[in-house]
A and B are shown apart, each in its own frame.
Chain A
Amino acid sequence: MEVQGKMIIQAKKLSKTYKLFEKEAGLRGSIKSLFNRKYIYKTALSDFDLEVNEREFVGLIGPNGAGKTTLIKLLTGIIAPTSGELSVLGYYPNNLEYAFKKQYAVVMGQKSQLFSELSAADTFLLFKELYGIPTDEYQRNLDYFVKLFDVEKLLNVQVRTLSLGERMKMELIVALLHNPRVLFLDEPTIGLDAVAQKQIRMFLREVNKTRGTTIILTSHYMEDIKSLCKRCVVVNRGEKIYDGSTDALFEKYQTHKKISLSFSEATDFVLPQGCTLVDQNPQKCTFMVPVEASREVVYSLIQQYNLRDIIIQEDDIGSVVERIYGDRQVKRS
């Protein structure tokens, strides 16, 4: 049985509101805004409660603009909350104390800590000094991660010449060299191909399991969340709408599969009963089918039509979130 550690992240009624400058389109709007500046307030996170124990692997999911990245920024101290209480590893993150920063790491999919003109090994040396990692510990950690990721031959190669997947591996090594207790990952697999995604997942699973690193992961990829996180938190419009078992979430809300058919010739396709059409033309058709009927539908389609290709996909995160949100609205009313 997996042992969960003590609570290391606690947020109570956490809120964050951004002040945004608003301007009407066009030249007139630009001139008007010089004299009469308008601001709007956008609540990115509202009364958000969260508790995370040591060694947990928690997935944060939600559509774009839901508040996931804002939450990561609050937890790492990059921004200050508008209201609410927050404690990470016993610190108030926005005080930005060195003792706190030495205990966590953050990897943002589209922002790099690596120096593109230099090799990854140069950045590793920099981080050794930044975190004051003793030489033997540094070497031990480096050897471990390099072997785990199989990147030995890439260590002395200029970073800008690495592929996206290779660069992400290096980013993760940089983040983990100092043995952080908590690792925040914001879309680490974004833009990566399937092979690289799989490797990153394997790496993260290993780090969580063998090193006991608590990991908070945001991702748009269903597979990341399903294969890595036992627990997931769903955020929508700044509110927490689900917090619990990942398996239970998908069992309850991932109710459909998306089927895309390509026909060998122009075909007059008839949508099977109980399915919802997404897109159709004589050569292609995409529709949603209830999970429990998917096997039967696929079988009959293969019998019935002259198919060139068939793609079966899981429901995307956006649809799952929409269903949870809809469910909550119904319960509230």
Chain B
Amino acid sequence: MKKYLEIAKIHFKAQIAYRFDVAMTMVFTISKILFAYILWDAVFGQNETVAGFTFPMMFSYYIISSFLYQIEMSDRVSWEVSARIRDGSFSKYMVIPVNPQRYFIAQTLGAMMFYPLFIFASTAAWVVLFRVKLVIACDTAVIAAALIMTVLGLLFMIQLNYLLGILAFRFQDISVFLMIKGNIVAFITGALVPLVLLPRGIVSVMRFFPFYYVTYLPSMLLIGRNKEEALTGIAVLAAWLLLFTILNKYAYSKFRVMYDGVGI
């Protein structure tokens, strides 16, 4: 366990190596909130509510979901794993005493670690300086459920992307798989549009899939809505996580023998 903590630490250190990058990330985070404010202000206009959301509720939803979307950096895993398999540098994970899958989990968690700091700082700035109202759930059980769901969601997404990445052992090019996954995930996680705006039938089908619980449901829970779905969400995510853990173990042991390590 300690070695994976060290892997997370070194990737966190690499993430904050350049001051300009760090500063730009902060500027980007703050400006994103500004654009969202302008956009939703225009959408609401004179209306009190849109699709059952008040303006502060919608704005809070946007801040929370975009934060979760930003820390969900698992995309890197599939791109990096597949690129390393193709150029032969995946060998470096095979010759050290680590489980490559856990290495990438630790790496992703390490890289995302510093985003929460910026998000909290910039959100606090908006709330204090511009007196923007934030709607946050008061129930600690709901907040705990949302946090557990967030962690399970992040782990599931890393597992999914790792599986897509190691497909490069078998297929020369996996960019089509990644493109399809990217489009589906962006839509289903509700990162673009709250899912309540979609037909009810589609949303109920989505509830059997994990993506609904990755960004959308934790965001809704944190603004005090959809409490009744919390336990189901955790159970569904845990089941998918378990399934993908087993699937990855099987796929890695089956596919890695196809690796030629070309390029070294």
Q: Which residues of A contact B (CB under 8 A)?
A: 18, 21, 69, 73, 76-80, 94, 96, 98, 101-102, 104-106, 108, 110-111, 113, 115, 117-118, 122-123, 125-132, 158, 186
Interface-facing stretch out of B88-96, B122-130, B220-228: B88-96
B264 lies within 8 A of chain A by Cβ: yes
Which chain B residue lies CB-closest to A123? B10
Q: Could you say which residues of chain B place their CB within 8 Å of the CB of A101?
A: 95-97
Q: Could you say which residues of chain B place their CB within 8 Å of the CB of A106?
A: 95
A94-B257 contact given A115-B10, A130-B96, CB 8 Å threshold: yes
B28 lies within 8 A of chain A by Cβ: no
Chain B window 45-79, contacts with chain A (Cβ cutoff 8 Å), 1 for yes, 0 for no: 00000000000000000000000000000000000
Q: Could you say which residues of chain B place their CB within 8 Å of the CB of A80?
A: 257
A77: which of B13, B95, B260 is its contact (CB, 8 Å)? B95
In Å, the complex CA distance between A232 and B7 comes to 38
Q: Could you say which residues of chain B place their CB within 8 Å of the CB of A69?
A: 264
In Å, the complex CA distance between A261 and B36 comes to 74
In Å, the complex CA distance between A117 and B261 comes to 25
On whether the beta carbons of B259 and A79 are closer than 8 Å, the reply is: yes
On whether the beta carbons of B2 and A73 are closer than 8 Å, the reply is: no
On whether the beta carbons of B96 and A111 are closer than 8 Å, the reply is: no
Q: Which residues of B contact A (CB under 8 A)?
A: 2-3, 5-7, 10, 13-14, 17-18, 88-89, 91-92, 94-98, 172, 257, 259-261, 264
On whether the beta carbons of A129 and B6 are closer than 8 Å, the reply is: yes
**How near does chain A come to B63, taking the closest CB pair, in angstroms?**
30
A115-B14 contact given A76-B95, A78-B95, A130-B3, CB 8 Å threshold: yes
Q: Could you say which residues of chain A place their CB within 8 Å of the CB of B172?
A: 21
**How near does chain B come to A218, taking the closest CB pair, in angstroms?**
11
Which chain A residue lies CB-closest to B263? A111
In Å, the complex CA distance between A246 and B3 comes to 42
A102-B259 contact given A110-B264, A115-B10, A122-B13, CB 8 Å threshold: no
In Å, the complex CA distance between A73 and B92 comes to 11
In Å, the complex CA distance between A189 and B14 comes to 28
**How near does chain B come to A97, taking the closest CB pair, in angstroms?**
9
Which chain A residue lies CB-closest to B94? A78
Q: Could you say which residues of chain B place their CB within 8 Å of the CB of A132?
A: 3
**How near does chain A come to B176, taking the closest CB pair, in angstroms?**
14
Can you name 8 A-B pairs with beta carbons within 8 Å?
A: A18-B260, A77-B95, A79-B261, A106-B95, A110-B264, A113-B92, A118-B14, A125-B10
Q: Could you say which residues of chain B place their CB within 8 Å of the CB of A127?
A: 96
In Å, the complex CA distance between A189 and B264 comes to 15
B14: which of A76, A77, A117 is its contact (CB, 8 Å)? A117
On whether the beta carbons of A78 and B261 are closer than 8 Å, the reply is: yes
In Å, the complex CA distance between A127 and B14 comes to 16
A79-B260 contact given A117-B17, A125-B6, A126-B10, CB 8 Å threshold: yes
4 additional A-B pairs beyond A79-B261, A125-B6, beta carbons within 8 Å, are A101-B95, A117-B17, A129-B3, A132-B3
Which chain B residue lies CB-closest to A72? B264
**How near does chain B come to A266, taking the closest CB pair, in angstroms?**
47
On whether the beta carbons of B6 and A73 are closer than 8 Å, the reply is: no
